[in-house]
Amino acid sequence: MHIAATGDVNLLNALEPQDAWEEIVAKNCKANGATEYQQYLELAKSYALNVNEYIRVKAALTKLSVVVDKDLAGWLSGKGYKIEMTNSSIYAESLSRADAKSNNLLTRINMKKNAMARLTAPDKQENKTLEEILASLSYAIGFPVSDDITLARFNEYTRILKLRADQEKMHHGRVK
């Protein structure tokens, strides 16, 4: 819990603490049925791939505007940017069309960026402190929870409380 509160993943006993922390967060979300983390991760990966593709295409087009490279033109054609080499004016026009087409990647990039922003919007976040979360948990389970609680134990308490609430709902038609 201290790592979650401070963000100091170096406290993890792992060769790659950032990777270890990412795995812990993913497992925690899975255990709690939360999908936002996985959605954000997929969006971030897609965003990075689109940005990378945009940079590669723009770099290739920039190079082709300076020097004719048949292999590079073929690579771009394989990506859907047809580069014609019939003569210099047709070549220049095809580069211009390919450049305009490559700007469509910016639309995809911005869509991913906006989707990530919606997932992390302030109104989506509870912004509770560790102390507030532990106090709520302590109240709900009926005894004080130590601030050195493990994530596994925290998740188990949360699961038990959800089961209790579901059982009460079934017996009384609503949660007390």
Within a domain: residue 37? no
Write the pLDDT tens digit of every residue in 60-80: 999 999 999 999 999 999 999
Q: What percent of the chain has pLDDT over 90?
A: 41
pLDDT higher than threshold 70 for residue 5: no
* Helix segments in the chain, DSSP class H: 2-6, 17-32, 36-66, 70-78, 88-102, 104-119, 130-141, 151-172
How does the average pLDDT of the chain come out, rounded? 84
| Domains in the chain, number | 1
Within a domain: residue 133? no
Residue 146 backbone class (left: φ over 0; alpha: ψ -120 to 50; beta: rest): beta
Within a domain: residue 136? no
Write the pLDDT tens digit of every residue in 80-134: 999 999 999 999 999 999 999 999 999 999 999 999 888 877 665 466 777 777 8
Q: Which residue has the tokens 């401070």?
A: 6
Helix (H, G, I), strand (E, B) or coil at 175: coil
Q: What is the mean pLDDT of residues 145-155?
A: 82
Within a domain: residue 114? yes
Within a domain: residue 58? yes
What was the pLDDT predicted at 61?
97
Within a domain: residue 98? yes
What was the pLDDT predicted at 4?
67
The span from the CA of 109 to the CA of 47, in Å, is 6
C-beta of residue 105 within 8 angstroms of C-beta of residue 53: yes
What was the pLDDT predicted at 94?
96
Within a domain: residue 161? no
What was the pLDDT predicted at 146?
84
Q: Round the CA-based radius of gyration of the chain to a whole number and report it.
A: 26
Domain that holds residue 79: 50-125
Within a domain: residue 3? no
What was the pLDDT predicted at 123?
61
**Size of the chain in residues:** 176
The identity of residue 44, as a single letter, is A
Q: What is the mean pLDDT of residues 51-63?
A: 97
Which two structure tokens, joined as six digits, stand for 6? Answer: 């401070």
Helices 36-66 & 70-78 angle (0-180, nearest 10) = 150
pLDDT higher than threshold 80 for residue 2: no
The span from the CA of 83 to the CA of 70, in Å, is 9
